[in-house]
Copies of this chain bind each other. A is one copy, B any other.
C-alpha cells in the first residue's frame, strides 16, 4: 500500500498528455494531490500548487509519484537527481513506468540508506492464491468492454465518486497501473502469472458489508484476442453481481488489431453474462457506458437514446453527462 498524500512529479513532460497519470490522480483523488513538481521545460500543468520537495514534505506529502511517461523508457539523469533528493528528504517513490525504479542501483541504494520504499506498480508484490470460487459477501460491479481503452476505468471511477457523494458504500478496485497509482492500492493484473489471475481478483475484492459495492476496473475485452484471458479472470474472479457494458461507437477496428471488427453491445452482453453467471448466477447487466468523445452532443444523445431503446438498459457517457443513471441502476440490484 502506497502512502498518501502525494507530490506529483511531472518532470520535463513534453505535453499535457504525457502527464495523464498525474492528471488521473488529480481528477479522481484530489485529496491525494498535495502539489505538483515541475522541472525546467515541463509543458504540463495540473492547475494545482507547484511546490519544492521541502514545501511538499512540510505540507504532508508522503510519496513522490512519477505522474509522467518518460522519454525513451529511460529514467534520465535530470530526473534522477530529483528522485534521489526526494528519497533523502524522506519521500517514498511510486511509479508505473516500464523502466523500474528498483532496477536503478542508485535509487535502490538511496532508498536502503534512508529507509524508504520504491513502489513499481507494474510488478506484483503479493503471492496471490489460486481462485477458490467461494461466494463472498458484499456486492461487486465489473466494467466489461467491447474493446480495450473504451473507458472502463473512467466508468468505474465515476460511479464510485457518484456513489460516495450519495453516501453509498463503495470502493474503486484498481486492476491496472494508473488505477493503482490513483488509489494507492490494487492488482497489476496484466503482470500476474496466469494461474493466479482469478485468485488475485478474489484477493482484491474480499468479503465486505452486504450493502458495499466494489467497483472493479475492467481490463481488455472478451472479444480482444490479445488480452481476453485477463478479462476472463476478472469475470470469474470478480464474481460480479452487476456488469456495466462499456463501448466506443466510432472505432473502426479493435485496438491494435486492424483485422478485427468490434463486437456489438448485444454480443458482449450475451457472452459476458453467460460466463459471469458461472461464478454468480444472479449476475445482471445493469447499464451501458458509452465513450462519446468523438461525437457531437446531438449525435451522442441520439446514440444513447438508441442504445437505451435497443438494449432496454440505461445508457450514458459518465464523463459528459454524469454517472447518475448507472448508479441509479446499481442501487436497484
Q: Which residues of A line the B interface, CB within 8 A?
A: 130-135, 189-195, 197-199, 222-223, 225-233, 235-237, 254, 256-257, 259-260, 263, 270-271, 274-275, 278-279
Contacts and interface: CB of A to CB of B under 8 A. Distances in A.
Nearest to A261: B278
Contacts of A254: 133
Given A271-B274, A275-B271, A197 B257 contact: no
Contacts of A263: 278
A231 B238 CA distance: 17
6 contacts: A192-B193, A193-B193, A197-B229, A222-B275, A260-B278, A263-B278
A259 B229 contact: no
B230 A194 contact: yes
A191 B198 contact: no
Given A133-B254, A194-B230, A195-B226, 6 more contacts: A193-B194, A195-B230, A225-B278, A231-B232, A263-B278, A270-B274
A265 B91 CA distance: 57
A142 to B, nearest CB: 14
By DSSP majority rule, is chain A's interface helix, strand, loop, or mixed? helix
Nearest to A278: B223
Contacts of A228: 198, 232-233, 235-236, 275, 278
B229 A229 contact: yes
A222 B309 CA distance: 32
Protomer copies: 2
A265 B237 CA distance: 23
A223 B256 CA distance: 28
Contacts of A278: 223, 225, 228, 260, 263
A5 B192 CA distance: 35
B195 A194 contact: no
Nearest to A134: B259
A13 to B, nearest CB: 26
Contact of A131 (B133, B225, B232): B225
A180 to B, nearest CB: 15
Contacts of A260: 133, 278
A244 to B, nearest CB: 20
A61 to B, nearest CB: 32
B271 A132 contact: no
Nearest to A188: B194
Contact of A226 (B133, B135, B229): B133
Contacts of A223: 278
Q: Which 10 A-B pairs give the minimum distances between C-beta atoms?
A: A229-B233, A225-B236, A232-B232, A229-B229, A190-B195, A131-B226, A229-B232, A133-B225, A197-B229, A133-B257
A194 B198 contact: no
Contacts of A199: 226
A191 B195 contact: yes
B133 A279 contact: no
Contacts of A135: 259
Contacts of A274: 270-271
A190 B194 contact: yes
Given A232-B232, A271-B274, A278-B260, A226 B130 contact: yes
